């Protein structure tokens, strides 16, 4: 029986929201370690981070560390998509409950690396997100596709191709226990 994208998204969200809280600190530490190790090769780059929701992987430790050697940006919600704004404090909570840096008149069009939270991934390493399409619309507007790293707090994968052509694809997937590059064999 074939699974649909909405059904798979619901399954992944349940898995993420029901995962044990007693080891969240450990899972986040493992992810920060793996992400820091990966980004160590990319000093003096322009990097789009995300600021985590409570059930997402908390990568703020890596964000603050990379701030010393790279230009860091966060999403700033605008309509059905977002624009990039420089990371600066204080952060303010938006109507969606997401913490954002203040708006800017800068129109940033190019980044080298994008770190994107993923709810799940399909066999083509395409992202299943929260269903709003914000990252898909944002990536469609970029002049050049950045190196893209998906972050998952819990590995949620389907061996079926359920994503649409416009769904973004990763160059690297990081979870607390799994690291996947395209064309790598997935065992789970």
Q: What is the dihedral of CA 59, 51, 44, 113, to 10 degrees?
A: 90
Contact (CB, 8 A) for 121 and 157: yes
CA angle 137-13-85, nearest 5°? 35
Q: Does domain 5-180 have CATH number 3.20.20.100?
A: no
Which residue did the predictor score with more confidence, 78 or 104?
78
Q: How many CA atoms lie within 13 A of 41 on its CB side?
A: 7
- Domain coordinates of the chain in residue numbers? 5-180
Q: Is the pLDDT of residue 22 over 60?
A: yes
Instruction: Answer yes or no: is pLDDT of 61 > 90.
Output: yes
Element (H, E) at 117: strand 113-117
For 15-46, give one letter per residue: b (16+ CB within 10 A) or e. bbeeeeeeebeebbebbbebbeebbeeeeebb
How far is 170 from 187, CA to CA, in rounded Å?
A: 18
User: What confidence tier does 186 reach under pLDDT thresholds 50, 70, 90?
Assistant: very low
d(CA 5, CA 186): 19
Do β-strands 46-48 and 71-78 pair in parallel, antiparallel, or remain unpaired? Answer: parallel
What pLDDT is stored for residue 188 in this prediction?
42
Stronger pLDDT, 141 or 33, i.e. the higher one: 33
Does this model's pTM top 0.95? My answer is: no
Q: What share of the chain is helix, strand, coil (3-state, %, to 5)?
A: 25, 25, 55
Per-residue confidence (pLDDT) for residue 113, from 0 to 100: 94
| pLDDT classification of 24: cutoffs 50, 70, 90 | confident
């Amino acid at each position: 029986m074939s699974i649909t994208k909405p059904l798979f998204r619901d399954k992944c969200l349940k898995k993420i929201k029901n995962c044990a809280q007693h080891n969240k600190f450990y899972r986040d530490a493992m992810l920060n370690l793996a992400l820091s190790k990966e980004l160590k090769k990319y000093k003096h780059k322009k990097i789009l981070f995300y600021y985590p929701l409570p059930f997402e992987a908390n990568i703020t430790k890596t964000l603050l560390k990379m701030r010393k050697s790279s230009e860091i940006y966060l999403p700033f919600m605008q309509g059905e998509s977002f624009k990039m704004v420089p990371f600066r404090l204080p952060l303010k909570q938006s109507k969606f409950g997401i913490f954002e840096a203040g708006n800017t008149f800068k129109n940033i069009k190019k980044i080298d690396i994008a770190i994107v939270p993923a709810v799940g991934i399909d066999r083509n390493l395409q992202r299943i997100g929260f269903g709003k399409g914000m990252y898909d619309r944002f990536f469609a507007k970029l002049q050049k596709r950045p190196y893209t790293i998906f972050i998952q707090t819990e590995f949620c994968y389907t061996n079926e191709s359920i994503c649409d052509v416009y769904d973004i694809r990763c160059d690297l997937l990081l979870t607390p226990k799994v690291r996947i590059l395209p064309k790598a064999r997935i065992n789970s």
